[in-house]
Amino acid sequence: MARHLAPSSGSLHRLLASRHYPPTSQAPPPRPLLLPKTRSAAMRLPRRGRRDVVTATAASAPSPSSPGTEVAEGAAWGKVSAVLFDMDGELCNSEEPSRQAGVDVFAEMGVEVTVDDFVPFMGTGEANFLGGVARAKGVKDFNPESAKKRFFEIYLDKYAKPNSGIGFPGALELIMECKNSGLKVAVASSADRIKVDANLAAAGLPVSVYVFGSKLNPKFDAIVSADAFENLKPAPDIFLAASKNLGVDTNECIVIEDALAGVQAAKAAEMRCIAVTTTLEEVALQQGSPSLIRKNIGDISINDILYGGSNAHHNEGAENTENSSSVGNALPESLNGATGAGLSDTKGSPISKNEGLLGSRREILRYGSLGIALSCLFVAVRNWKAMQFASPKGLLNFFMGGNSSVFTRKEGESLSSRVQQIKKYLAEFESGGSATYVPEFPRKLDWLNTAPLQFGRDLKGRVVLLDFWTYCCINCMHVLPDLEFVEKKYKEKPFTVVGVHSAKFDNEKDLEAIRNAVLRYNITHPAVEAGETL
């Protein structure tokens, strides 16, 4: 039988200076350690207080794609330039409310389902999310589009009110850490854009902050939703489109997902994936072979994203005091000093980090409020010419509660007399030369529900209401019932509504997607895709 020798002092130094520490770290000075005498010098010390990294001199390191493990420091994790976040169940705690809204939809149909019936179809888009349950329950004459429309109405009205607090703790901090590290960030979701915007607003993750009419620190460099795609997750189309929009190669993208379909889509797109167990158990997620598995998004560190694992991140979250005093869990700095001092500094670091984070939030609120106030003042000064239409008498009536507007019909006054007064006012306004003439629509624009229109030819003499909208904007959808009411009220009058579609992102410029939205929301008035011309 071979004899096992305890490692000498020199071999211990070489052991601690090996790949167990980053290459740039200095080897710690010798200090007394309690090691079993039967431990071989060729073996690695386990890192306690975190998932063990299985590395040995005679065996190769595990593949980064091995689920439930971490990539050993020094292994080839590869370059990272962008992070693609799924939304439901990851940035937003919206999976359970979505399933409950689905239950409400089927309840209106008289079909009894449970929230668990929707689990197999999570992350595959709302049409399949509802249609899959309908097929499983044998619902006849099921209309996916009408069901999806009703689903959005229920979900937005009951479960996704603005700032309702459905965001996961740590989501905003991780997004900002990624941006501060020079990474591009995007939302790549199988949900429709109307739900993406509503969820981000409900989670307190607005797409952008505007000051003086320009973006201030936009949260996301791109948002890709299901509207423009025929094949949803587990197909890789959404992730590939996000990669293209960001201008980043797929092998430099990290996907963060909670659904098995999303993990499979990331693998099909040849992207690394960090899975979180907020929706499914770890065993279920392992079927998609994610690179890493974490409990939730708050448990993901920037080092997990950049390097495939982090000592400091897991050491800070360790709850076992015995593990925190072990050699594998201690930081290099704690090995230089006394044990008590080292542990005190290590455990104190998260507190100081949180205090700094709270301080930065206060500064953001303070200066953000100041910026909004200044932007309001700037807009008021820029539009000062509009005050020429607000007479001193009108302002006095507004503040004093009076009601003597030029357009107010006086008691005993005939309707024809009021019409003549209004026409006279408009004629004087036009003859004054202060009116602004609306430019014609540029030629070669794509029109829906009508042939191309011109103000001087087709709309002359008519009152024209221009509705600037985007089919992915929830506020734009809320205006549609008001437009329909006005159209019906003045359908016999020279009045026309023209919807001017203004795309915010490249994927929203797709004419087929706009046409589907016009049909889906029953928009009957003329609509034109403005592109970048208006």
Catalytic center residues:
86, 88
> What residue type is 408 in one-letter code?
T
CB 222: neighbour CB atoms within 10 A? 23
- Structure tokens, 122: 């999570």
**Contact call for residues 138 and 111 (beta carbons, < 8 A):** no
Q: How many CA atoms lie within 13 A of 457 on its CB side?
A: 6
CB 54: neighbour CB atoms within 10 A? 14
The C-alpha atoms of residue 7 and residue 5 are separated, in whole angstroms, by 6
**Of 227, 157, 162, the residue nearest 192 (C-alpha):** 227
The C-alpha atoms of residue 181 and residue 204 are separated, in whole angstroms, by 22
**Of 359, 309, 340, the residue nearest 19 (C-alpha):** 309
In sequence order, the β-bridge partners of residue 82 are 184, 253
**Contact call for residues 73 and 309 (beta carbons, < 8 A):** yes
Residue 251 is classified by DSSP as: G
Rounded to a whole number of angstroms, the distance between the first and last alpha carbons of the chain is 85
The C-alpha atoms of residue 295 and residue 282 are separated, in whole angstroms, by 9
Burial of 115 (0-12, 13-18, 19+ CB in 10 A): middle
- Structure tokens, 531: 């592109």
